[in-house]
Amino acid sequence: MATAAIELPAGGWRPRPHQRRLWSYLEHGGKRAIAICHRRWGKDDVALHYTATAAHERVADYWHCLPEYAQARKAIWMAVNPHTGRRRIDEAFPFHLREQTWENEMAIRFRNGSLWRVVGSDNPNSLVGTAPAGLVMSEYALSNPASWGYLAPILEENNGWALFITTPRGRNHAKSMYDLARASPGKWLAEFSSVLQSGFSLERVEEARKEYHAIFGQDAGDALIEQEYFCSFTAAILGAYWGKILDRLERAGRILRLPIEPQLPVHRAWDLGKGDHMAIWFFQVWAGQVRVVDFVQGHAVGIPGFARIIREEKNIRGGIDYVPHDARVVELGTEKSRLETMKVCGLNPEIIPMHRVEDRINAGRRVLPRCWFDETNCKQGLESLRNYRSEWDQDKMTFLDVPEKDWSTHGADAFGYLCYSVEEIEVSKPKPLARVMQTTQNGQQLPPNQVTLGDLWELNRKEDNPMGYTQ
């Protein structure tokens, strides 16, 4: 009995002219590609149809990864092509190719044995344990950057391919990956396509601009058009709490190589999170300056694991560990509070007073202008601060008074605790009078009652800028 031929891509779908370069790269065996493309470019269409083809050339697991598992159902699983009225997954994966479809799990088993599923980057630990041969990271600029760190070794071992598709969201990890791809032409394809490259109707862009102006105002609407249609990496992230302050710090040269000052204690500000989702900022305080020297974040590490990182990897002793008030809560199973666990691990915890989320955000606005950041050690943490933004209610067409809950939340919450800690340090630990002793031009040390007004002025100038940095 003859076997019916399978035609893929299905339904007569073919890449449009602006999609052909990406399609050709994948079709000819390319393993790594990132596509920075404008809204309505057809990124997911290309990814779905190529995955269907790949799944019938090699029997294996294939994933389509969204920033959050909860959004995947609407964005991919239930998404409808407005031109045909059919679900996009039904167009790319016709029913006659399927053996079984699991609606609740958002997974499809093909008749040849391959499995395709939708997953989320919001819990990287859940992704470990299987070995996909193909991975699509959709809206990668909004995804947890740690997810690729977990998956890259698996794909490398499995000789698999990975496609990252996104519009920009500031100069975050997607921009870094695009720069890496551009610098590695033999290993990567770096696709960039704004409406100017794809030939998308500029009249439709201007129609969208008018709509955005009506919803967000002129400045925010223009920024959104630059981001979504012209693929600008420098456009402000809509609703970001601290984005403009961080841009000013970067322009002022405040994000640089920043070594730990050995004469100052290194404090830590913790977000304990739920389960083992934790983040820690390492910082030093000196006469109005906040030197943010490091950041760590992890899953399934726990307080003992982070204590080892602090002592052994970072070689840090002393300092205070600032933690939120719920560290006093006794955890079921251990019958100990996190506060007690920290003390057992040799840490020095101190409880931050209870406060509202908006108080923490405002503390960030007060303290950030006085901060300096280590550009390497704080890179991931800075991405979380730039992406920390208010939640958008699509139905009410307005920003809510609560932050968006995504991968950036833990790092941003920890930084809010840092800001509260800085204000606590500066209020509770004023400079002792003995510090006023000053060396005169002839090398003599003068007691406080003999220091002139000029000596005090010079002392304050030096302490306000102890390392000689210029702004």
**Local structure of 326: helix, strand or coil:** helix
457 Cα distance to chain centroid: 43
Number of other CB atoms surrounding residue 21 within 10 Å: 14
Phi-psi region of 356 (alpha: psi -120 to 50; beta: other; left: phi over 0): beta
Distance in angstroms (rounded) separating the CA atoms of residues 175 and 221: 22
Domains of the chain and CATH, by start: 10-198 (3.40.50.300), 202-238 (no CATH), 250-428 (3.30.420.280), 433-464 (no CATH)
- Who's near 26: CB < 8 A, 6+ residues apart? 33, 50, 54, 161, 163
Distance in angstroms (rounded) separating the CA atoms of residues 267 and 119: 37
Reading the chain (471 residues) residue by residue, the pLDDT tens digits are 445 577 899 999 999 999 999 999 999 999 999 999 999 999 999 999 999 999 999 999 999 999 988 888 889 999 999 888 999 999 999 999 999 999 999 999 999 999 999 998 887 666 666 789 999 999 999 998 888 988 899 899 999 999 999 999 888 899 999 999 999 999 999 999 999 999 999 999 999 999 999 988 887 888 899 999 999 988 878 888 998 899 889 989 999 999 999 999 999 999 987 655 789 999 999 888 999 999 999 866 789 999 999 999 999 999 999 999 888 888 766 778 989 999 999 999 999 988 999 999 999 999 999 999 999 999 999 989 998 998 877 677 677 788 988 888 999 999 999 998 998 787 655 444 334 344 444 445 444 444 444 443 444 444 444 333 333
User: Where does residue 52 rank: exposed (0-12), middle (13-18), buried (19+ CB within 10 A)?
Assistant: buried
Distance in angstroms (rounded) separating the CA atoms of residues 196 and 173: 24
Q: Give φ, ψ of 431 to 5 degrees.
A: -65, 135
Identify whether the C-beta of residue 241 lies closer than 8 Å to the C-beta of residue 367. no
Helix (H), strand (E) counts: the chain = 16, 21
DSSP character at residue 369 = G
Residue 122, token pair as written in the block: 């919001």
Residue 58, token pair as written in the block: 């090699």
DSSP character at residue 4 = P
Q: Give φ, ψ of 271 to 5 degrees.
A: -110, 115
H-state helical runs in 253-337: 302-308
Distances (CA, A) of 290 to 261, 376, 377, 415: 12, 17, 15, 12
